[in-house]
Structure 1
Amino acid sequence: MSLGLKRRMALAFTALVLLMLAITAVGWWQTRGLGTQLERVVEGHNRRAELAHRLEAAQLDWTGQLHATIAYTEAEDLKAQEAQVRKARSRYLAAEDALAAALKDSSDEALRQRIERIRAKRQAVETPLDLVLRNALNGSGAETSLIMLGPTERGEQEWQQEIAGIVAAAVQANEAEYHAARERQAWTERLFLLLSAGASLLAAAMAVGLTRSVTQPVDAAMHVAERIADGDLGVEVDTDYRHEFGRLFAAIATMQQRLRETVRGLQSSAAAIDSASAGIGAGSRDLSARTESTAAQLQQTTAAIRELTDALLEWTRGAQQAGIVAETARTEVQSGHAAITQIGERMQGIAAMSGRIEEIVGVIDGIAFQTSVLALNASVEAARAGAQGRGFGVVATEVRSLAQRAAGAARQIRDISHDVVRNLAEANRSVSDAGLTVTRVVEAAGEAARLVDGIAQSAQQQRGTVLETGKAIAGLDDATQQNAVLAEELAASTEALEQHARHLSEALRGFRLAAAAADGTYQAADLVPALA
């Protein structure tokens, strides 16, 4: 069963705490046992040994005082000695009762039997000793007392031996308990050493295990992170780990996949920007070429307008001369007829020129329409390029505005040309009428003079119209020159956009992606190719 890092650390610390508690419990139990043994040594065996020694000393004092009584002969001395014997006997009995009470709850049956034998021995010799004491107090003499002590000597010795035996037993029990306590202390020390060594080994094993279980995944994560930091997005990420490290490696794998998608998106965007900038560059170069061509055509149109103006000026002068000639038409009918014929021819030339102007205006209108379409395409491409195409988007908008102005000027020229054609048609009809009525010039000389004057006024008006047309064409020429400048700026912006696209491609070369295999997995691939 696999456990997470938190649970493993919790189990390790729990095991250490339980082991420490176990060591503490064993130590407490052994210390308590040693305390109990020491209590038995101090309060039990030492007390018994002390009472046994006191009993032995009291027995020796009692018998000694009794034997000393034999040596006294004076009544006062005997009486004092009798008090000493009585006191010694009372001390002995008190010591015997105290020792019996101390051995009453003892588990040592031999000691209780021994104290009973001591009582029996004491009772056996107590009566003879009392007789010896009374005999000595009665003044029977030392010899009699000594004779009476003879039979009790063996009993006294047995009595003393029993007391000495209980003293020896108490001392031996005390020593045995002491040795047992020392052995238990040594066993406790060995147990503590074993438990401490086991705890140290267990702690070391758990520390090594935890360290390996933490450092190995951390080292693997650091290796993957360093590879990704170096730009290698195709490095394999082991997601077989569980729990905390499993989530860590899953997050790294997700980050790696998103970085791959981001780099691929940037690669596609760079390619799209490069393609769009190339298209915009081609369009701007074509627009510049068309603008230059339009400027050249406008220059030709301007020259034609100048020629038309000169022709109209001459026509006006001719009309004025015709007015003078009309005054003498009666005598110069043939000359007037020739002049009218010349006027008709010139009006046909003017009509032809007006048709030429209309054709030129059609060309200008077509160029303005194409310029507007190109500017619209440039605006669309600039919008696709985003922030990088904002500059030439403004330029494209300005070009489109100029194209619309050019189209408006062309419409004005077309309207003026239609007026000229209409006026020329009217003039042509007037000349035709003049030709039909030339034979009646003499009779209608005045009317002819008025007609010629009208023709002169119409020519003057046509000259003014042509001058306005020249001014409009001059404005169209200025707009076309501005279009040429804007086209050059658009070409420069497009070149800058292409340069940015190349820089972006160079930046993407630092990343190594993973090529998609047939099964949908990713393998290590070469560097991201630079955009052309």
Structure 2
Amino acid sequence: MLPGSLTRRIGAAARRFAAEHAGAFSLEAAAGGQPPLLRCGGQVLNGDFAPIDRFTEQTGVRATVFARQGEDFVRIATSVRKQDGERAIGTLLDRSHPAYRALLAGRPYAGYATVFGRQNMTRYDPVRDAAGQVVGVLYVGLDVSGIPALGAAARLALSVVAAQYAVGALAWLLLPPLQPAWLAVSVALPLIVAALVYALAQRGITGPVAEGCAAAQRIAAGDLTTQMHVSRRDEVGQMLQAINGIGVGLTGLVSQVRQGAEGLRVATREIAEGNGDLANRTEQQAGEVNAAASALEQLTATVSQNAGHAQQVNGLMATVSRTSAQSSEAVDRVVATMTEMRDDAHRIRDIIGIIDSIAFQTNILALNAAVEAARAGEQGRGFAVVASEVRALAQRSSGAAREIRTLISASVDRADAGGGLVDAARVSMQGISGSISEVTRLIEGIATASGQQSSGIEGIHHSVERIEQMTQQNAALVEEAAAAALRMREQAAGLADATAKFKTAG
């Protein structure tokens, strides 16, 4: 089948397929990572295989409906089969496909293309929504893998034979044989055939090759948007398709390089900024670590001094504890002495009571003797004088005993009060002794903890010194990383400049 008839057939199939989808198109996002929903006239086209299969049965042409998904086109309904025989649903149009760039730009594409390993004469037509945005693609394709293709040499040979036959037949009809004119025609015939061959070669080989050379030169100059319409399958057509493929491949490569360079530029800028910030913070941290080391050194000295003071206080508290114990023993002895004195005072008061009783009885006896002496008259006068003296003596003894008893009672009361005070002092001394023991125990704990704290702080001080050393090393590494990031940024800028000369679609 000649390329012209293939082009006409695929064009008619494309118009028919488009007529079957004449409604308004709209695209809706789908949940769960599914392809977006493409509607035509309100009807969802996703998974609607029946109309497409019917179209293929009636025309012999395979068809596909693509929905746009970001910068890609995904097959949502198709009669195209993959190599394993499965329907090619959910697959993407390869970005290296010659139709990809044209469709993104909203242009149709017609020509040969390889679809899942099979050579097809294809046509891709973009469809738009009400806002004029490309939301999908209608595809029709005819498998021509089994149709033999005439090479350029075969076409030229056929063209020469046909031209020679046509010129000869024309001369035979117009001129009788063996006439002088026939001789002239015989001479001119090779020239005419040569001219026809040149014209055919110019149209079939030289022209396409020149077009391919021009396209290759534009691609070499950096214009990667260059694409040629290819409608032939011979060597020249394959060469032109290869040039198209080179442009598409270079476009993808340059786009990736640009994206990589831009990403590298942004990343290196962020790295440089981050390294600058990190360098500042590292220097600040180094200063803070140095200050912390100095503070820890002072703290170590203070804690060591506190530990020494705690040891001294512990020794003093031991002395105070011994003195308190001695004072407690002295108070105990005073308490015992006061108790003995109070007991003696009580006994003296009892004795004074006996003496007072004796004086009272003596006074009574003297009074009785005086009465008896008065009765005796003159004979009892001497006895009355003695009785009077004894009575006076008894009265003085009774008065003295009362005074002594008063003094002894006061002494006993004071001795009782002193005993109470001494008991209270003994209880207080016992409490003080217990408190001193508790304070001694606490100070011993403080001294032990201060010693341990001093050792711990010494270890922390050594750790902080190591951290300070590592921080200084980190600061040097950060400076090196910042310099490397700056060099990488310059290289990224150079890479971006190198790709800036290429012109790509979009």
TM-score of the two chains, using structure 1 as the length reference: 0.40
Structure ranking higher in strand proportion: 2
Structure ranking higher in helix proportion: 1
Structure having the higher Rg: 1
